[in-house]
Amino acid sequence: MAYTIELPDNSLSLLPSEEYFFIVHNGLKEKIKLQDYQKIYQITGLYDQVVSLLKYKTPEVLSNLLTKELKKAAFTISQLTILELGAGNGIAGELLKHSGVENIYGVDIIKEAYEAMRRERPNVYKQYFVEDFSMISSETSKALNKINFNCLFCSSALSHISPPAFSYAFDLMNSHAWIVVNLWTTSGFEKGTGALIKQMQAEKTLKIIKQHNYQHRLTVGGEPIMCTGIVAQKF
């Protein structure tokens, strides 16, 4: 399918949940919400093209943060066995693979994400689960509990992941496992899973090793969105 992408008038000020773009195909113009992942993942290459236009940096930033902290701890990246939450079409997993991670397991609630990964990045994950961790199937739970995870990685999906789902993934991790996530800089710790991470920190079940503020991406109107990248460890 040949198409072009158009962004809306850059004078618009939209919430992330309201953002949209257009694809133009055979003279027809279709409006697609930026967070309509089911629709976006059905069109080969569309997700990558859109996030490239918006200068999306989070997978690269988080991967680099993790690599630097591993070096400080004299931990070899090939020793990691990663569970990637909200793995999508594998854009972050591919970066981790290229950095030297050999064992990456993906999970996403959206089956179209899995299908896009199979089309576009079929060699990234050892296994990929289409599951909601807040109501996980017994079959998947048994499979995951057999894996010796020492890293939980979540690039840009934390606001879509419920506290129970994150807690389940966190409980799968070994003691001293690496936890790598990003949150909105202005409000990330105030609600939802961000608030749970703050609670974990207060209860000393999680220790934040590194925080780094950076530009996550641009809005469709061209304004910067700031996030905080976090590397932590489970205790």
Question: What CATH number has the domain bearing residue 103?
Answer: 3.40.50.150
C-alpha span between 159 and 195 (Å, rounded)? 11
Can you read off the two tokens belonging to residue 85? 């939450």
Specify whether 16 is located in the same domain as 106: no
Domain housing 74:
58-234
Q: Looking at the structure, do residues 20 and 84 belong to the same domain, yes or no?
A: no
Same-domain check for residues 176 and 209? yes
Q: Using an 8 Å Cβ cutoff, are 151 and 175 in contact? A: no
**Could you tell me the pTM of the whole model?**
0.96
114 and 34 co-located in one domain: no
128 plus 226 within the same structural domain:
yes
Same-domain pairing of 64 and 179: yes
* Domain identity same for 207 and 102: yes
Mean pLDDT score of the chain, rounded to an integer? 96
Bridge partners of residue 30, in order along the sequence: 23
Average pLDDT for 123-133: 98
Q: Are residues 69 and 26 in the same domain?
A: no
Which has the higher per-residue pLDDT, 223 or 1? 223
Query: Are 49 and 62 members of one domain?
Result: no
Q: Give the total number of structural domains in the chain.
A: 2
| 71 shares a domain with 11 | no
- Which whole number is the average pLDDT over 41-65? 97
- Helix ranges (DSSP H) in the chain: 37-41, 46-53, 58-72, 91-99, 111-120, 138-145, 163-171, 192-202
